[in-house]
Amino acid sequence: MPNDLHYTGGPLDRATILRRDDAWVSTRLADAGTHVIPVWRNNNLIIGGGDPEAVMVSGAAARAMIDMADQIALLGIDGDAAYFAVDLSTHDEPALAPHAGAAEFIDLRQAGALIERRAGTLLAHARGIMFWHRNNRFCANCGHPTESHHGGTIRRCTGPDCGRDHFPRTDPAVIMLVTRPGPDGGACLLARSAHFLAGMYSTLAGFVDQGESLEESVAREVMEEAGIAVTDVRYQASQPWPFPASLMLGFRAQATTFALDFAKDELDDAGWFTRADIARFGERDMRLPRSDSIARWLVDSWLNELPE
């Protein structure tokens, strides 16, 4: 697994067996050395500025947040220290100010590219698991309330005739850089949709449908979105993307047709861009995706290759 992708390479032992012991989890929650990562309405506690810093709380401050939390989940252990995510979303933000100090709750996407990567991985994990807890309070099978078990890694239905276990959901999505050969060193396919930041062009991406392989999903999405047929679909890397609950599966593919016919209901624009074109993005008020995304990693990997 590449170690230069943000939100990967989690440093913790997830303590799969230990977390099933309620007494052990309770002891860790009461331990002064336990670290707490607070989440409030999908936002992480971060000291902002030009060099943002993730906030992880321990000691009496951690105990206070644990007592306030609506949901708690063990992220894992590092040596003797346990790390928990806590959800404070049921409180109004002013009530949390005394516990935040100089930090504030902000969207990780605003600071993730600048936060130290180990810490960013923990914040992403905390954000993702708390989102799942908040959105799975009732059983999809019978409608009864669910309860957290196994240190926050499952939710169990309380229905007397059901009792189904529900596990954290991750939606697989393929994300792909399509390239074509050419005398100019080749080109890659980039596009933009209406919800992108102004001037941003990125790779194509889409969710995996039931009953198709990942390679088939890549080919389908590229054809649906850009009207391009591809071959030589090759897996590159994956990235957890808890915005809110995806696993991005990165691929490269070679185009076998080059005339673009992009779906106007999905894309505002699409085009083939050479390395020289991308080098001039700044002059044209254009930009690549954020540096913490696998989309950017795929483009940068291609840019750093020798031209075809």
Count of Cβ atoms closer than 10 Å to residue 212 Cβ:
13
* Widest distance between CA atoms in the chain: 68
Amino acid at 218: V
131-159 pLDDT, tens digit per residue, is: 999 999 999 999 999 999 999 999 999 99
pLDDT confidence of residue 50: 87
pLDDT confidence of residue 237: 97
What is the CATH architecture of 18-135?
A: Alpha-Beta Complex (3.90)
Q: Which residues of the chain have pLDDT under 50?
A: 1-2
Q: CATH topology of 18-135 equal to that of 171-303? A: yes
CB 237 within 8 A of CB 2: yes
What is the residue extent of each domain of the chain? 18-135, 171-303
pLDDT confidence of residue 3: 54
List 156's β-bridge partners, or say none: 147, 165
Q: Is the whole-model pTM more than 0.75?
A: yes
Class of domain 171-303: alpha beta
Amino acid at 202: S
Task: Quote the CA–CA distance of 13 and 32 in Å, as a whole number.
Answer: 19
List 35's β-bridge partners, or say none: 83
pLDDT confidence of residue 1: 39
3-class SS string, 120-186: HHHHHHHHHHHHHHHCCCECCCCCCEEEEEHHHCEEEECCCCCCCEECCCCEEEEEEEEEECCCCCC
pLDDT confidence of residue 308: 60
